[in-house]
Structure 1
Amino acid sequence: MLKTLAFTLALAAAAPALATPAQAAPNPPLALVDVPKAAGPAVTLFNGRDLKDWDAWLGYADPALTYKRPPVAPIGAGPRSAEIFKAVVEDGRPALYVNGQIWGSLVHKGDFRDYHLRLQYKWGKGRWAPREAQAPNNGLLYHSHGAPGAVWGTWSQAVEFEIMTGSIGMVVPVGEAISAAATAVDDSTLIAPKLRFSPAGRAVTTKGGTADWNIEAYSDAEKPAGEWNTLDLYVLGDRAVHVVNGVPVMEVRDLKADGAPLTHGAIQLQSEGAETFFRDITLEPITSLPRVVAQP
């Protein structure tokens, strides 16, 4: 399903519960330093015209079945995906539209390692059952691999840069084989496992299919609904840094699949209950990661 591009770049899957929105930013604020320069030419992942560089997969016709291991089959690949994923014009510019009404994934055909990915997203107005009353939810998944729909009939295995209001940048291992390590502190305002990323925290591991299924972002850096937000994802080997509107909110390491280092894979965009627009999806190779530091 994946193919290598010109230059070498190389969900809580077990928990339907969602983290509560992130609270006000802890002190001190974080800064991104030693930002790497591009080590080669950039690639645009969305051509602005069509989705020929992406493979679509849809989960169950009724998304409420997603976590219940139903006896029915997911929709899978096919023409119905054109209802959910489209190339459109939004705010006068090309954008990739994700409807959200049926859950699923749009997986880019490239296989990437050691890169800086940047994209912009904004929420549309659509909210769909069973999450119509919850915070709008989507996800940028990286190091995606394996069979489409392997996770709950709906997504490929991956590491998630969460896109959910109040929790933008949270890390979620998508699939029971996936794990990631970070430093975190206890935060009683969150649902279990009540962990929030902090450079000053203790070492913890989050793993799909366990009670420790996520680590919340350090702070909430999202703009008001209806505005475009910029996400930056820096990945080097089995480490990554999540940045929201210029604010670092997560730093992970020891990304693994089935206990082996997870260092490359595809880019995957979720459909998970909320209309979302994406644009300016670009990727460039890097040879180092930026550092996340506490401001004085």
Structure 2
Amino acid sequence: MLVALMMPAAALAQDSMEQARAIADATPSAPQHLSLVELPLPAGKAIALFDGRSLRGWTAWLGYPDPSVTYKANPGAVPIGVGRDTRGDFAVRQVDGAPAIWVKGETWGSLVHRADLRDYHLRLQYKWGAKTWAPRVEAPRNNGLLYHSHGAPGEVFGTWRPSVEFEIMKGSTGMVVTVGTKVRAQTKVAFDPSLIAPHLRFRLGGRPVDMINGTPTWNVEAASDAERPIGAWNTLDLYVLGDRAIHVVNGVPTAEVTGLATISPDGTRSPLTHGHIQLQSEGAETWFRAITIEPIRALPKIVGTNG
């Protein structure tokens, strides 16, 4: 570890490249054009998770007063949790002539919905606001839809619950992230040297990998960037059935994950098939609206062509 930290940045970058190349077994990263077929019919009535008037059904949790300490081993601070009025962090406001959930983004945390969900198609719309906050003023806008959330509030970095993330980040929306060291997921990847570490992109028919937080497979980039320009509304579709999920951005499938699981202290792997959703607050003002779920009994299928 100390040797790696003392290595020049160029050497570290080369090392991560070679590691990713080995993980993906040099699977080519040439573009794929992906689409969804065999969309499942709803198995029941659609339910609105946002009533358009209030945050009824949602509970706020806030991380550290200074978000820059969030990922430190010893942050030297205590999470805010539910210890303050959060109406200045999360609220229902009018935007573009309709109500939406406003997430300020300055203090990191999340809105957690009380429903324990399984086997569903979730759809929501989001768009970026004007504000970004330290320590990510210059970084791409960042947020996320976390699903199959479980465990204690703030269990992960004092800020989130263990979960799987449908990443909402400028240039990477639809990426898969395992949130917390107790969560596992499997997907298929290709090596893409144009990406920052871990240099892995979802690829239909790619090399299977086990996603583990804290390792070179802790996240896998979206198959493509299907997000609209800042200021425009985007539609996300999340299909979840048991321990499998498909991420879709503006009608374009961006990732498929299988084998969602939790890991117990003795190493036992148990399927992760249900949980809560969290709307993140992570450094960028964000608007969410039209959040609905409907039950499903099958997943759609991703098909694609290369080139």
What TM-score, normalized by structure 1, do the two folds share? 0.90
- 2:37 is aligned, of 33, 39, 46, to 33
Q: CA deviation at 1:295?
A: 3.8
Q: Report the 3-state secondary structure (helix = DSSP H, G, I; strand = E; otherwise coil) of the residue aligned with 1:276.
A: strand
2:92 paired residue number:
87
CA–CA distance in structure 2, aligned partners of residues 124 and 232 of structure 1: 21
CA–CA distance in structure 2, aligned partners of residues 164 and 239 of structure 1: 22
Return 34-43 or 64-73, whichever deviates more. Answer: 64-73
The structure where helix makes up a greater share of residues is: 2
Alpha-carbon displacement from aligned partner over 1:179-221 (angstroms, at most 9, x marks no partner): 1101110111112221100012110111122232100000000
Q: Report the 3-state secondary structure (helix = DSSP H, G, I; strand = E; otherwise coil) of the residue aligned with 2:128.
A: strand
CA–CA distance in structure 2, aligned partners of residues 51 and 147 of structure 1: 21
CA–CA distance in structure 2, aligned partners of residues 236 and 61 of structure 1: 37
Alpha-carbon displacement from aligned partner over 1:196-255 (angstroms, at most 9, x marks no partner): 000121101111222321000000000011000000000000000000000001000001
- 2:147 is aligned, of 142, 147, 157, to 142
CA–CA distance in structure 1, aligned partners of residues 216 and 65 of structure 2: 28
Q: Which aligned segments of 4 or more residues in structure 1 are displaced greater than 6 angstroms? A: none
- Counterpart contact for 2:209–2:217, Cα < 8 Å: no
Q: Which runs of 5+ in 1 are unaligned?
A: 1-24
- 1:249 is aligned, of 242, 254, 276, to 254
CA–CA distance in structure 2, aligned partners of residues 51 and 207 of structure 1: 33
Query: Which structure has the greater CA radius of gyration?
Result: 2
Q: Report the 3-state secondary structure (helix = DSSP H, G, I; strand = E; otherwise coil) of the residue aligned with 1:81.
A: coil
2:171 paired residue number:
166
Query: How many aligned positions are there?
Result: 272
- Counterpart contact for 1:26–1:219, Cα < 8 Å: no
Which amino acid is the alignment partner of residue 271 of structure 1? S
What TM-score, normalized by structure 2, do the two folds share? 0.87
CA–CA distance in structure 1, aligned partners of residues 84 and 125 of structure 2: 27
- 1:268 is aligned, of 251, 255, 278, to 278
1:222 paired residue number:
227
Q: CA deviation at 1:79?
A: 3.5
Which amino acid is the alignment partner of residue 255 of structure 2? M
1:110 paired residue number:
115
2:46 paired residue number:
42
CA–CA distance in structure 2, aligned partners of residues 233 and 148 of structure 1: 23
CA–CA distance in structure 2, aligned partners of residues 38 and 30 of structure 1: 23
- Counterpart contact for 1:181–1:203, Cα < 8 Å: yes
- 2:215 is aligned, of 204, 210, 215, to 210
Return 139-148 or 43-52, whichever deviates more. Answer: 43-52
Q: Report the 3-state secondary structure (helix = DSSP H, G, I; strand = E; otherwise coil) of the residue aligned with 2:288.
A: strand
- Counterpart contact for 1:143–1:266, Cα < 8 Å: yes
